[in-house]
Amino acid sequence: MVNRRNGWSIVADITTMVVSLLWLAPLFFAVLISVRPSSDPLTVGNIFFGRSITLENYQRALELAPWEWHYLTSFLVVVGVVGVQIITITMAGYAFARMKFFGRNILLFVLLIQLMIPSGVLVVQNLTTMRQIGLFDTRWALMMPYWASAFGVLLMRQTFREIPPELEEAARIDGANIGQILRFVYIPLSIPTYVAFSLVSISARWNEFLWAAMVTRSAEVRPVTTGLSQLFSATEAGTNYGQLMAGTILVVAPLVVLFIFFQRRFIESFASSGLK
């Protein structure tokens, strides 16, 4: 069934290419239109290129929103969330994987509620909470709700369980404390899981929009996705696609580049993220 070469497999090859190119088309044309002069709509010249190549769309897209702040915010949020998550999921993951304590199963279930009720539907109440604790319109509001990750805890619990307990016992005999056991036994042996988790978390935070649009007002603390949204509102509907696509490329490029470098890693990571 797999490697049989015949007429059908040529049909299948062609189908694969056609579908893939169709899937690639939105990105491909977004890039093309972003470097096409705005004086050349699609009907002038051929459909792929205008009469020249220009960066003017990028210049104007950059002027229409304070991108340097948006990039800074997105970057800080990604680092601030993933960094804290690594700590919280390591601690909780270890406790649930290797320690016996009263109420363990109940507490694990409480944690799982986070997976059952996605934060997206609780935005309005969380917004009220942020106002009450005085973090409305700050970058903290973009980070705090994500510092705990039930998915990450489950992932680390699973990974830590596969590490032979003998290694921990040996470290204990050598006088290692809990911090040293995590630092020298569990964490080094779980690097692939940390990488997988980080990739999923980085792209989730980079892509966040709805919550960010609600909980921030000032441009300085808004992430890149809101910049794109602002560009859409600022641009007359249906007029300047070159400019809109330039803005789109500004937002998606970091992830696409990251993906090109870590293609296989990314795909495996997303596969494990579905298992939550």
Partner 1 sequence: MEDIHSLTTTHTQSRRFKRPEWRQILPYLLIAPTLILVAIFTIYPTIRTFEQSLYEPGTSTRDATGRRVQGEDAFVGFQNYADLFIPQTPPHPIVGSFMQILGNTLIFAVVTVSITLPLSLGLALLMNRAIRGRSLWRFSLFYPVLLPLIGGASMWAFLYGNTGGLINTVFRSLGIGTQDWLNTPDLVLWSVIVVNIWKQAGFYMIFYLAGLQAIPKDIYEAAELDGASYFQQLYSITIPLLRRTTLFLLVIASTYAFQTVEQLDVLNRGMPANRSNMLLWYIYQIYPSTPARGYVNAISMVLVVILFFFTFINFTFFERKDDDGQ
Interactions with partner 1, residue window 167-186 (CB under 8 A): 169, 172-173, 175, 177-178
Among 50, 62, 73, 96, binds partner 1 (CB under 8 A): 96
Q: Is 192 in the site for partner 1 (CB under 8 A)?
A: no
Is residue 99 close enough to count as binding partner 1 by CB under 8 A? Answer: yes
The minimum distance between CB 220 and partner 1, in angstroms, equals 20
Burial class (CB in 10 A: 0-12, 13-18, 19+), 259: middle
Which residues within the stretch 105-164 sit at the binding site for partner 1 (CB under 8 A)? 107, 110-129, 144-145, 147-150, 153, 158, 161
Using rule CB under 8 A, residue 43 touches partner 1:
yes
Residue 102 Cβ, how far from partner 1 at the closest point, in Å? 8
Total interface residues for partner 1 by CB under 8 A: 104
- Which residue from 11, 74, 47, 116 is spatially nearest to 250, judged by alpha carbons? 74
Residue 246 is a binding residue for partner 1 (CB under 8 A): no
Closest approach of Cβ 168 to partner 1, in Å? 10
CB-facing half-sphere around the CA of 55: CA atoms within 13 A: 4
Options 50-58, 63-71, 187-195, 203-211: segment touching partner 1 (CB under 8 A): 203-211
Considering the rule CB under 8 A, would residue 79 count as an interface residue with partner 1? Answer: no
Q: Which two three-digit tokens encode residue 150?
A: 């039930």
